[in-house]
Amino acid sequence: MDAPRHALSDGARAVAESGLVKGTAGNLSVRVGEDMLITPRRCALAAVEPHDCVRVRLRDGAVLEAPAGSEASSETPLHRAVYDASEAGAVVHTHSHFATVLSTLVDEIPPVHYGTVAFGGRVRVARYATFGTDELAASVAEALRGRRAALLANHGAVTLADRVDRAVDLAIELEWLASVAYHATLAGQPSLLDDAELERVAEQARTLRYAAAEAR
């Protein structure tokens, strides 16, 4: 149990230090077998220690282990829905600035940069529902189909990966992409990459990854 707890608190600190969250916003989780560890409710991510993390059973949301006086993040249903719908090993949710700005303006992040493929394709915006509800969880799971990121309308962003550190890196990249897309759109009419080019980029990334793996 120790390694995932440490990975989660390290990830929480990394999110806080990256400036992706303000105050007590944002939450992270990591899958541990049939359960998940999730950051506690109303807690600044910079201050999360390994023993603060709450253990929740994925199947029914039952809290199995929580430090005295602490509760699982209010977005526990969202995290559970992501694990249910994917092979994710970790999930990061933030209210990062430009991701949130864009979530009020578009249905997907305009593909202004080839980095879009890091998320498995164009990043969709999940339709709005009240925070902490099963309705929001379902809408996010749907927007994430085949993707590693989604925006949440009028709310924020979510990323998933096999490991916490990678999900945090994706959250940072997502905020950068949202910032570029926002500013490009504000300045004019940016040229966009079409699906054929995004597929070529994905193919090129695969080729280079295989070449690097073979060289090792």
Nearer CB in complex with Zn ion: 73/116: 73
Closest distance between Zn ion and the C-beta of residue 132, in Å? 8
Spatial distance between the Cα atoms of 25 and 14, rounded to a whole number of angstroms: 14
Q: Is 65 a catalytic residue?
A: no
Give the three-class secondary structure for 37: strand
Closest distance between Zn ion and the C-beta of residue 191, in Å? 32
**Residues contacting Zn ion: total by CB under 5 A:** 1
Closest distance between Zn ion and the C-beta of residue 158, in Å? 9
Q: Are 89 and 31 in contact (CB under 8 A)?
A: yes
Nearer CB in complex with Zn ion: 61/132: 132
Interface with Zn ion in residues 141-170 (CB under 5 A): 156
Spatial distance between the Cα atoms of 44 and 21, rounded to a whole number of angstroms: 9
Look up residue 109 and give its two tokens: 């992040």
Q: Distance between alpha carbon 20 and the CA centroid of its chain, in Å?
A: 11
Closest distance between Zn ion and the C-beta of residue 23, in Å? 12
**β-pairing, 54-57 with 35-38?**
antiparallel
Nearer CB in complex with Zn ion: 140/193: 140
Residues near 183 by Cβ (< 8 Å), separated by ≥ 6? none
C-alpha closest to that of 174 among 204, 143, 200 = 143
Nearer CB in complex with Zn ion: 40/156: 156
Q: Are 177 and 125 in contact (CB under 8 A)?
A: no
Give the active site residue among 75, 135, 199, 203.
75
Q: Distance between alpha carbon 158 and the CA centroid of its chain, in Å?
A: 3
* Residues involved in catalysis: 75
Q: Which residues bind Zn ion (CB under 5 A)?
A: 156
